[in-house]
Amino acid sequence: MTRPVIIDTDPGQDDAVAILLALASPELDVRGITCVAGNVPLPLTSLNARKVVDLTGKDVPVYAGCAAPLDRPLVTAEYVHGRTGLDGPALPVPVTPLQDIHAVDFLIDAVKATPGITLCPLGPLTNIATALTRAPGIVRNIKEIVMMGGGYFEQGNITPSAEFNIHVDPTAADIVLRSGAQVTVLPLDCTHQALTTRPRLEALRRLGNRAGVVVAELADFFERYDKEKYGTDGAPLHDPCVIAWLLRPELFVAREVHVTVDTREGLTLGATVVDYWRVTDRGPNVTWVRGINADGFFALLGERLARLP
Ligand code: RIB
Ligand code: CA
């Protein structure tokens, strides 16, 4: 039995690696890739998603979604991802077409038609929140929303208290967390342990295929900012952790907790307030992934990327 999933994404080098991992994994039936504005504006995130699908030689529909957050101007991250959002390798103009229906329409139709589907948001939650707002009933068809975002023990990366995906559209994140869906969060607490150290990257570069070289070149570019910022050996490979959770959840340590998103303007806008030690009477609303077996994660990533062209 394959697991039907939709990847919602703002490529972004780490998003690209997540898409490659998903498309290289036969356990997953990727029904579509929906793009959202985030790391770079929507025209670039949707172009980049098409380039990444091309690398796999697979036929996966790509859709463009929301070009701006629900109720605030878009904030992007070219300082991390480069002007194109996919700086690093030279990737050709894509063959994979952009579908002509809006990503939110696709999300609603696909969820209605696929009971038990999993949504994997890797960027700001604007598309997902818009779909849930327009068609609240679809939540009963969603098996799990597995998202990258937030932070508690590792609080913020775009502000001292907020992680980028949540900070860009905190209202959307709040809608998703209140939706009643089963939500699993891969926060900075987890992804900051998945570092692109030199030995790990060289193992990918030496896979002997184009995918391995491209991933290494994406990381070569992507890691420079975080290595400088955190002084670490390598950068956190955030988004592929979402896909690895679907494939091998035993690689992770998680806990059911209550999470609230701060939607108030100011220094803590977009903070994920996690009742990790259960000091309130608020029942859990998310599965919060705090730990990862990083060596096991990179071994899985290498094994799967090796299956690509
Ligand atoms: O904070 C990291 C997240 O923001 C990742 O999903 C990265 O791609 C950016 O979208
Ligand atoms: Ca992302």
Helix H, strand E, coil C: the string for the chain is: CCEEEEEEECCCHHHHHHHHHHHCCCCEEEEEEEECCCCCCHHHHHHHHHHHHHHHCCCCCEEECCCCCCCCCCCCCHHHHCCCCCCCCCCCCCCCCECCCCHHHHHHHHHHHCCCEEEEECCCCHHHHHHHHHCHHHHHHEEEEEEECCCCCCCCCCCCCCCHHHHHCHHHHHHHHCCCCCEEEECHHHHCCCECCHHHHHHHHCCCCHHHHHHHHHHHHHHHHHHHHHCCCCCECCCHHHHHHHHCHHHEEEEEECEEECCCCCCCCCCEEECCCCCCCCCCCEEEEEEECHHHHHHHHHHHHCCCC
- Kindly give, in sequence order, each residue whose CB lies less than 8 Å from that of residue 265, ignoring residues fewer than 6 positions away: none
Structure tokens at 103: 């990503």
Check residue 153 and give its pLDDT.
97
CA of 280 to the centre of ligand 2 (A): 31
CA–CA separation, 33 and 121 (whole Å)? 10
The catalytically annotated residue of 167, 192, 238, 258 is 238
Q: Which ligand is nearest to the CA of 155?
A: 1
Check residue 74 and give its pLDDT.
98
Ligand 1: does its nearest atom lie under 6 Å from the Cβ of 235?
A: no
Closest residue by CA, ligand 1 atom 1 = 164
Catalytic, 81? Answer no
Check residue 241 and give its pLDDT.
98
What is the average pLDDT score of the chain?
Answer: 98
Task: Out of 13, 39, 125, give the residue to mutate to test ligand 1, the one with the largest number of ligand atoms within 8 Å of its CB.
Answer: 39
Answer yes or no: are the C-beta atoms of 210 and 162 closer than 8 Å: no
**Ligand 1 nearest atom to the CA of residue 81, by list position:** 8
CA–CA separation, 289 and 270 (whole Å)? 18
Check residue 6 and give its pLDDT.
99
Ligand 1: does its nearest atom lie under 6 Å from the Cβ of 156?
A: no
CA–CA separation, 253 and 169 (whole Å)? 27
pLDDT under 70: residue ranges of the chain? none
Ligand 1: does its nearest atom lie under 6 Å from the Cβ of 169?
A: no
Domains delineated in the chain: 3-305 (3.90.245.10)
Ligand 1: does its nearest atom lie under 6 Å from the Cβ of 165?
A: yes
